[in-house]
Amino acid sequence: MISTQLRKNILAKLFFNGIEISRTKDKGNRSFNDAALHRCLDLLQRGGALFIFPEGTSSLGPQHLPFKNGAAWLLLNYLESVGPLLQVVPVGIHYSCPEAFQSKVEVVIGRRISTALPDEASRLERLRILKGRVHAAMEEVGINVSSEEYQTLIRRFASAATMGTGRSYFRSLKAMECAIPDSILQKWSPFARDLAGKKLWFYQGLPLFPMNSILLSALALIVTGVLVSSAVVVNLPAFTAGWFAGKKLADDRNVISLWKILVGVPCFALWTAILLVTLISLGKFSWLAAYAAVTWLGLKCYGSFKKICVAVHNTLRHRELRPRMIEFYNTVVQSIPDETPALR
């Protein structure tokens, strides 16, 4: 089930397919929504799979928005028409940095929601029961905190706990959903005061510093910098188009990368096709191989380059803070348990 906003132009239709619903905030004809819900029910009755955002959007706020009744009504209609055969599974999607290209996304699959209902319950009571179960299941796979400030803080600490490790970003966030360990706050509060006013660069809220040899980090910066800048230059039209789309077309952080992909990928495909035809017609096969190699290596090194660039810059500007950052990083890793129950 998708918003009609995602199917309003030819480009969007190339990427998105689904049963269209016009939400209150959408500029569309909402009289077709009942027919859309019947299509959803028919799909499920035929054994199909349906994905629904129960909030009616993909918000990245500190708490989930109020859940709409549509998913619960659809589920109840199915149960009354077919029976308890449907599998209802909650899914949580967590971005380490939603506005950044190539940032990590963690998908959490929750426990199956029970569809068993008491026989004596009225239809409205059954609806409330189902909506309550969906609510509880979605909170289990999501992160719900008191404020955006608290959310920003635990996202920063979760990044510190998972960067360069195989830890789960979701687990780290979930471990701090109710409270941040005192050991972390005791280290962070004075450190944050000392960071204020200093000309530092940050990556996912963290003032990175090299964990090992500064000389090796500088060498890695030169190598990755050459590869990434070369890849950007040889793909400048596509890179510029993606950057522009993320800046001008996105209306929230959660869709910045989406717009970069929606515009950047088709432009990249078109640009690559133009180069391919041109270089083949000129017989420049070695140039074509070089273009492919530079582009691939640049994409592979892009994320590492950003982190190394931040770390080297901070070391050059404020080398004295490096030991404290490493100490803080170790405190976070030791204080956040890595055994928070994973759903899947």
The residue segments making up the domain with residue 234 are: 199-317
> Phi and psi at residue 74, in whole multiples of 5°?
-60, -45
The answer to whether residue 190 sits within a structural domain is no
Please give the pLDDT value at position 14: 76
The answer to whether residue 36 sits within a structural domain is yes
The answer to whether residue 291 sits within a structural domain is yes
Long-range contacts of 185-193 (CB under 8 A, 24+ apart): 187/327, 187/328, 187/331, 188/157, 188/328, 191/324, 191/325, 191/328
Cβ partners under 8 Å of residue 266, min gap 6: 11, 14
How many structural domains compose the chain? 2
| pLDDT block averages, 10 residues each, the chain of length 344 | 77 80 74 87 91 77 78 89 86 84 86 91 92 91 91 92 87 93 93 89 91 89 96 95 85 77 90 94 93 95 93 93 91 81 41
Task: Give the count of beta carbons closer than 10 Å to the beta carbon of residue 81.
Answer: 10
The answer to whether residue 194 sits within a structural domain is no
* Same domain, yes or no: 136 and 14: yes
Query: Which pTM does this prediction carry?
Result: 0.82
Residue 60's nearest CA partner among 130, 172, 152 is: 152
Quickly list H helices, 196-335: 214-234, 236-248, 256-282, 285-317, 322-335
The answer to whether residue 299 sits within a structural domain is yes
* Same domain, yes or no: 11 and 81: yes
Residues 133, 116 contacting (CB under 8 angstroms): no
Please give the pLDDT value at position 288: 94
* Same domain, yes or no: 113 and 241: no
The answer to whether residue 152 sits within a structural domain is no
What is the β-pairing status of strands 2-3 and 20-21?
parallel
The answer to whether residue 162 sits within a structural domain is no
Burial 174-190 (b: 16+ CB within 10 A, else e): bbbbeebbeebeebbee
The answer to whether residue 27 sits within a structural domain is yes
Give the Å distances, CA to CA, from 46 to 54, 70, 234: 22, 19, 49
Q: Determine the Cα–Cα distance for residues 168 and 161; give it in Å rounded to an integer.
A: 9
* Same domain, yes or no: 105 and 39: yes
Give the Å distances, CA to CA, from 236 to 227, 250, 257: 14, 21, 18
Please give the pLDDT value at position 58: 65
* Same domain, yes or no: 12 and 134: yes
* Token pair of 342 as six digits: 């994973």
Residues 60, 253 contacting (CB under 8 angstroms): yes
* Same domain, yes or no: 127 and 22: yes
* Same domain, yes or no: 135 and 256: no
